[in-house]
Amino acid sequence: MPYLAGQRLSHYVTKRGGIGVGKLIALATALADGLSALHARGVSHGSLRPSEILLESNGPHIMECAIAPRAERLRGSGATWLSPERYRGGAPSPAADVFAWGAVVAFAGTGRLPFGPGEPEEIADRVASGDFGLDGLPQGLRPVVGRALDPDPDRRPSLREVTGSVFAVWRAEGSEEDGSPPGGARRSAACSNASGTRWSRPPGCRR
């Protein structure tokens, strides 16, 4: 594995708190793009969480893409990021990745665990009942993140819907925040302009 300089999203948010709306929109778009690229190859990540996202100067990198660990290995430390069906031992799936995307974006935007602290079983119960908190998340992102965290995989949005919804939030909020030109640019460039970083480039995957 090549050496990657950067900071894990989990460490960054723990030290600094929730990230601003521009960077959050760019991060959310980049993660959705990276997961979409995996799904196009017939692969689901299965264990997306802040500790597996490396923030580099040229964009975030999703790590551990090659082989999704069994759900049993993730229950202790990863109950927050596991969809109910994954927690019960289900196989990785695009819908489960969408759930994890929502949990990661909620954490990155608020600086808090979306289902609160507690023992894995307590967190899993809240996950299964849809008992999450999004206070502090930019208002425009709450509907799509809330849908992503739905306990029912059939009610979660597709990654295409996720990307469209986040881009719409950028047009409504991000462009007003820094005066970047609206919608005429490609989505990745738009998010990059909104954040002032290159985070919007689809993240590469590293083993």
What is the identity of the amino acid at 159?
L
pLDDT for 199 equals 36
Cβ burial, residue 129 (10 Å; 0-12/13-18/19+): exposed
How many C-beta atoms lie closer than 10 Å to residue 12's C-beta? 17
Sorted by sequence, the CB contacts under 8 Å of residue 134 that are 6+ apart come out as: 106, 110, 114, 142, 145, 146
Contacts of 121 (CB under 8 A, 6+ apart): 79
Which residues are within 8 A (CB) of 107 and not within 5 positions of it... i.e. 6 or more apart?
A: 13, 50, 80, 113, 114
- Three-class DSSP labels, 41-94: CCCCCCCCCHHHEEEECCEEEEECCCCCCCHHHHHHHHHHHCCHHHHCCCCCCH
- Residue 53, phi then psi, degrees to nearest 5: -120, 120
Ranking 105-119, 133-147, 162-176, 189-203 by mean pLDDT, the lowest is 189-203
**Model-wide pTM > 0.85:** no
Question: For residue 142, what are its two tokens?
Answer: 């709450």
Write down the residue that tokens 């975030």 correspond to: 60
Cα–Cα distance, 36 to 159 (Å, whole number): 7
What is the per-residue pLDDT across 56-76, written as a single tens digit (0 to 9) for each? 877 788 987 655 555 555 555
Residue 130: how many other CB atoms lie within 10 Å: 14
Q: What is the DSSP string of 116-142?
A: -SS-HHHHHHHHHHT----TTS-GGGH
Lowest mean pLDDT among 4-8, 22-26, 89-93, 151-155: 4-8
Q: Report the pLDDT value the prediction gives residue 76, as an integer from 0 to 100.
A: 54
**pLDDT band with cut points at 50, 70 and 90 for residue 79:** confident
Ranges of each domain in the chain:
7-206
On average, the pLDDT of the chain sits at 80
Mean per-residue pLDDT, 165-173? 89
Higher pLDDT, 186 or 190: 186
Structure token digits, residue 156: 């979660």
**pLDDT of the residue at 10:** 94
Is it true that domain 7-206 has CATH number 1.10.510.10? yes
Work out the pLDDT band at 178, boundaries 50, 70, 90.
very low
**With left for phi above 0 and alpha for psi between -120 and 50, is residue 203 left, alpha or beta?**
beta
